[in-house]
């Protein structure tokens, strides 16, 4: 393929043509910046076995690790200065260093990963088998089988059984084969069945997940499709799951379905069972905690839906205490802990505690790669916390940040809510003239494609009336009228906006003259008393 030529006009009118320069790849930079402190130390030990400590590979590694932002030209100058670099010399240096880092990470993982340990055992069996050290092969197979059984590595177990037959055949041990062949055949069938069973549950889980992610509207057609998936024989009884891994999938599928169907008692039970099941196998959590983090998050949500706030607090502490095994685990724990912590503070009206948590979150979030960790999912919660603290300018900043993400915000109800909140915050700030313009633009936006809901229509009419010069009694009467109407809407499941921002408590604060935070807190405490 020919390189695309570029044409450049200089100030004196001459032209220059040549190949378009390639954008330098930052994959080596990203790999090195992803290293933990332990992985970095291990790399230095690993590379010093192979290279001189003053080699250009070590210099380049240190230069990249020290960079705050990727700058390929600065790296080249750091290594070569003004020296003329021949051809692809710098590219080849980076490519070789990338391979060195990757190899060191593989070696680092071998010390802790069950996958690598099993792979090492089986490679060792192959090496010993080729040299006819059959007894040594059997010793390794015994160790491998114990580990594979404990961690449910079904493919490894099937391979181990195949090696048992190959060794017996190579030794012409007919007596052993006569004695053990039926046992091996039964074990092979069992592990193959376990593998097939797990794959079936996993595929069912992915089908359920796709159904939820593709459509967030919770239409009758979507729920009918999910009920069809739940009607499959695998989901009729947990006993159909033949392994721990399959049982985990069984409860994950149940959790997704019950949450989507708004069956919150069943969602609570399934999420709790899943957490308890995972905690019953602590050795597996040393290998992978990603799904455990998700299970804790789901359980927190289920407790919140049922107003079991003590259990929310307990599970939040458990989530915060999870030891991450990967960078992704660390980001996931942070994201899910703070999203749920903020949700609890906002629901309970404890906005001072929410602000403390928000400040801690903003400090901690700085350590994450900003390209991989977006604060976009938090902006609405930032708004609610600042609003509850009466810091309306900061609340407006958070809302503007959220509105600037409109291209990536897919849920229509959230897009609509953001614009209603924009009206509320400008009302609180006393921006009467701006509010008139915002009301018109918001009405146009929400009227597109017949999207203006009953709630949105009533809310806009109410704010328009409130923006007029009314006497105090008239204003309070208007607040009381709309409070009654929204109290009716709040009980309807379709109006999820009331779970995201407590509009009824805001209206009540205007009627009573109490601070918004106090009204939310009193409402929260009253609900707890009713539950006993």
**Can you give the residue ranges of every domain in the chain?**
24-110, 114-198, 411-532
3-class secondary-structure state, position 32: helix
Q: Is the pLDDT of residue 526 over 50?
A: yes
pLDDT digits (tens, 9 = 90+) for 369-398: 766 667 777 999 999 999 999 999 999 999
Stretch 29-49: mean pLDDT, rounded? 83
| Contacts of residue 420, Cβ cutoff 8 Å, sequence gap at least 6 | 442, 456, 459, 460, 497
What is the C-alpha separation between 334 and 374, in angstroms, rounded? 12
pLDDT digits (tens, 9 = 90+) for 205-253: 999 998 887 765 567 888 889 999 999 999 999 999 999 999 999 999 9
Global confidence as pTM: 0.79
Q: To which H or E segment does residue 18 belong?
A: strand 15-19
Q: Is the pLDDT of residue 8 over 60?
A: no
Task: State the pLDDT confidence band at 152, using cuts at 50, 70 and 90.
Answer: very high
Question: In this predicted structure, what is the pLDDT of residue 371?
Answer: 60
Whole-number mean pLDDT of the chain? Answer: 84
Question: In this predicted structure, what is the pLDDT of residue 17?
Answer: 42
Question: In this predicted structure, what is the pLDDT of residue 297?
Answer: 96
Q: To which H or E segment does residue 392 belong?
A: helix 392-403
Dig out the tokens for 434 from the structure.
């701006």
Question: In this predicted structure, what is the pLDDT of residue 35?
Answer: 85
| Contacts of residue 110, Cβ cutoff 8 Å, sequence gap at least 6 | 116, 117, 120
Task: Report which of residues 107 and 394 the model is more confident about.
Answer: 394
What is the C-alpha separation between 362 and 204, in angstroms, rounded? 38
How many CB atoms are located within 10 Å of the residue 17 CB? 8
What is the C-alpha separation between 307 and 526, in angstroms, rounded? 12
CB 503 within 8 A of CB 456: no
């Amino acid at each position: 393929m020919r390189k695309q030529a570029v044409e450049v006009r200089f100030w004196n009118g001459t032209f220059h043509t040549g190949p378009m320069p390639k954008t330098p790849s930052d994959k080596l930079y990203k790999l090195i910046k992803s290293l933990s402190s332990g992985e970095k130390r291990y790399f230095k030990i690993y590379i010093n076995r192979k290279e001189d400590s003053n080699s250009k590979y070590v210099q380049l590694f240190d230069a990249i690790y020290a960079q705050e932002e990727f700058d390929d030209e600065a790296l080249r100058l750091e290594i070569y200065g003004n020296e003329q670099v021949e051809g692809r010399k710098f590219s080849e240096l980076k490519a070789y260093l990338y391979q060195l880092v990757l190899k060191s990470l593989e070696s680092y993982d071998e010390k802790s990963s069950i996958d690598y340990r099993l792979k090492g055992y089986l490679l060792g069996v192959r090496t010993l088998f080729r040299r006819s050290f059959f007894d040594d092969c059997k010793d390794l197979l015994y160790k491998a089988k114990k580990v594979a059984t404990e961690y449910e590595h079904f493919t490894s177990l099937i391979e181990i059984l195949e090696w048992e037959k190959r060794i017996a055949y190579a030794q012409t041990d007919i007596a052993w084969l006569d004695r053990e062949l039926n046992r091996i055949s039964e074990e092979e069938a069992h592990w193959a069945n376990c593998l097939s069973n797990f794959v079936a549950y996993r595929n069912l889980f992915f089908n359920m997940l796709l159904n939820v992610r593709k459509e967030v509207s919770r239409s009758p057609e979507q729920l009918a499709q999910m009920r069809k998936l739940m009607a499959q024989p695998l989901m009729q009884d947990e006993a159909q799951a033949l392994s721990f891994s399959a049982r985990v999938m069984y409860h994950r599928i149940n959790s997704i379905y019950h949450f989507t169907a708004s069956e919150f008692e069943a969602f609570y039970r399934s999420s709790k069972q899943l957490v308890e099941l995972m905690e019953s196998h602590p050795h597996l959590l040393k290998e992978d905690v990603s799904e455990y983090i998700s299970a804790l998050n789901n359980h927190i949500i289920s407790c919140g839906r049922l107003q079991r706030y003590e259990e929310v607090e307990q599970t939040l502490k458990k989530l915060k205490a999870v030891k991450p095994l990967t960078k992704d685990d660390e980001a996931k724990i942070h994201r899910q802990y703070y999203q749920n912590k903020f949700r609890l503070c906002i629901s309970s009206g404890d906005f001072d505690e929410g602000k403390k948590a928000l400040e801690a979150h903003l400090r901690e979030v700085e350590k994450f790669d900003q390209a991989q960790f977006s604060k976009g999912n938090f902006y609405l919660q930032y708004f609610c916390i600042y609003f509850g603290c009466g810091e309306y300018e900061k609340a407006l900043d958070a809302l503007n940040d959220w509105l600037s993400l409109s291209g990536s915000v897919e849920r229509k109800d959230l897009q609509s809510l953001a614009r209603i909140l924009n009206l509320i915050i400008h009302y609180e700030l006393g921006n009467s003239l701006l509010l008139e313009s915002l009301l018109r633009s918001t009405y146009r936006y929400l009227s597109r494609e017949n999207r203006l809901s009953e709630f949105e229509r009533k809310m806009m009419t109410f704010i328009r009336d409130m923006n007029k010069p009314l006497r105090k009694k008239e204003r309070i009467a208007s607040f009381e009228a709309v409070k009654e109407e929204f109290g009716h809407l709040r009980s309807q499941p379709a109006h999820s906006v009331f779970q995201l921002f407590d509009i009824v408590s805001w209206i009540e604060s205007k009627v009573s003259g109490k601070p918004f935070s106090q009204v939310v807190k009193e409402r929260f405490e009253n609900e707890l008393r009713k539950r006993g």
